Chain A
Amino acid sequence: MKVPILKQGNILIATIQSALADKDLINLQNDLSHQVIQYRANGVVIDITELDVMDSFSTRTLRNIASILKLRGANTIIVGMQPDVAYAMVQLGLTLPDIKTARDLEEGLILLHS
């Protein structure tokens, strides 16, 4: 399933709607890498509220996306992680130390604007 990317001012919003296949994640990485310059965005919010499982591949891809976008001049914020996902991830040692997080889309946008 393709992840829709919305433009809101100079911020891009990617809302992940369901568990993604590896291919979809790579597509998301590709799309964001291109669109961030195309739309002259300086911030990206990835909303994972609907995600109830995160494996090591999606974690790594999210981390890669954040690093790529940094190189392309934009900050990334992950929002809406569910409690069970967060707990499962830290137990696997996947703590995403270099990515910013926020509770929801609203807070993510405020953080990027500040």
Chain B
Amino acid sequence: MDEIEKSTLPDSYVLMNKMGLDENEVARRKDWLEFTPDDEARLLELNEMAQGYATEVIEALYEHFLKFEDTRKFFENPTVLSRVKNLQKEYFLRLTKGDYTKNYIEERIKIGAVHAAIGLDVKWYLGAYNYYLRAVGERIFKAFKNNPDQALQAFFSLTKLVYMDIGLAIDTYIFQREMTISKQQEAIRELSTPVLQLREELLILPIIGAIDSQRARQLTEQLLHAIRDKRAKVVVVDITGVPTVDSRVANHLVQTVDATRLMGATLIITGLSAEVAQTLVTIGVDLSKINTVGDLQGGIEAADKILGIPVTGKHDDTLTSTN
């Protein structure tokens, strides 16, 4: 791994904490898999044997990787290939070294994060584990030829550990994607609520996209603070870009109107589409308290009237109701 790549990777320790993987959680995971100290002892016993066949298994695994175009592209560089082979071997032997505690978990998280970062899909990752288990299982049963019961127990211990590793790695994948999603949602929210000052004492808030309750709350809070900070007297909220307005959103609009009035300002809503207007009347939302004007232009003209600025356009007064 070169330096640049290293620095862009999330710190696995921080990641582990964020994912809530403390000692209790790790213990819960082990309990769920019925991973006991006996398993740990059985895995330790396998270590010597594993050292014998590690290289062989790793070579076979990478041959398998190179057979498929989707996985081959990760190993086109021969130095990368030999480095990951070494890391893989290290991991392979680590499986039978015991002490499956904090450090072990942290390493697994790191591996998950690396795989997520290079964009290796989960299916290849799972397939590789499957290959692993088959290759090792075969060798274990061969080694304990006279004691199949012991072989089975040892194999089961290995399976439990491998499943724990898979669980950790996949959780890391999911966690990182969720972090990306929430970051993007945040960015969208920030972008989608610009409060613009058109002239002194007049603010415009064009709303684009669907409104859920979280966004509605944020919109209102932002708007109310802008009213105070910019000393606005009139606010025009344009909802042309809102595809649907249900009773919840309508109710929120009413609340915003009330809160604006409590602060001593006036709110005008524009851009209610024909569909939205019909829906609101059909579901019986009481919007009698709200100033609505057909379009943004009309809204600004109505606002100018309240502000005492002479309207220059030829537009008729389209204000349907005033407080």
Contact = CB atoms under 8 A, between A and B. Distances in A.
Interface stretch (B100-108, B110-118, B147-155, B218-226): B218-226
Interface string A73-85: 0000011111111
Given A90-B255, A91-B255, A83 B263 contact: yes
- Chain B binding surface SS class: helix
Interface string B252-288: 0001101111111100000000000000000000000
A57 interface: no
Specify which of A84, A89, A95, A108 lies most central, judged by the most chain B CB atoms within 10 Å of its CB. A95
B134 interface: no
Nearest to B255: A90
Interface in A93-114: 95-96, 101-104, 107-108
Given A89-B259, A90-B258, A95-B258, A82 B228 contact: yes
Contacts of A96: 262
A39 interface: no
Contact of B262 (A89, A107, A108): A89
Contacts of B227: 83
B12 to A, nearest CB: 40
A87 B221 contact: yes
B42 interface: no
Interface residues of B, number: 18
Contacts of A104: 264
B303 to A, nearest CB: 15
Given A82-B228, A83-B228, A86-B224, A101 B263 contact: yes
A107 B221 contact: no
A11 B220 CA distance: 33
Given A90-B255, A95-B258, A103-B233, A83 B265 contact: no
A101 B228 contact: no
Interface in B198-255: 220-221, 224-225, 227-228, 231, 233, 255
Contacts of A84: 221, 224
Contacts of B233: 103
Contacts of B220: 87
Nearest to A85: B262
A102 B228 CA distance: 12
Interface string A46-88: 0000000000000000000000000000000011111111110
A89 B255 CA distance: 9
B193 to A, nearest CB: 15
A87 B264 contact: no
25 contacts: A81-B262, A81-B263, A81-B264, A83-B225, A85-B262, A86-B224, A86-B258, A86-B259, A86-B262, A86-B263, A87-B220, A87-B224, A87-B255, A87-B259, A89-B262, A90-B255, A90-B256, A95-B258, A96-B262, A101-B261, A101-B262, A103-B233, A103-B263, A103-B265, A104-B264
Q: 5 closest Cβ contacts across the A-B interface?
A: A83-B224, A103-B264, A86-B259, A102-B264, A86-B262
Given A79-B264, A87-B224, A103-B265, 12 more contacts: A80-B264, A81-B263, A82-B263, A83-B227, A83-B263, A87-B220, A87-B255, A90-B255, A90-B258, A90-B259, A91-B255, A95-B262
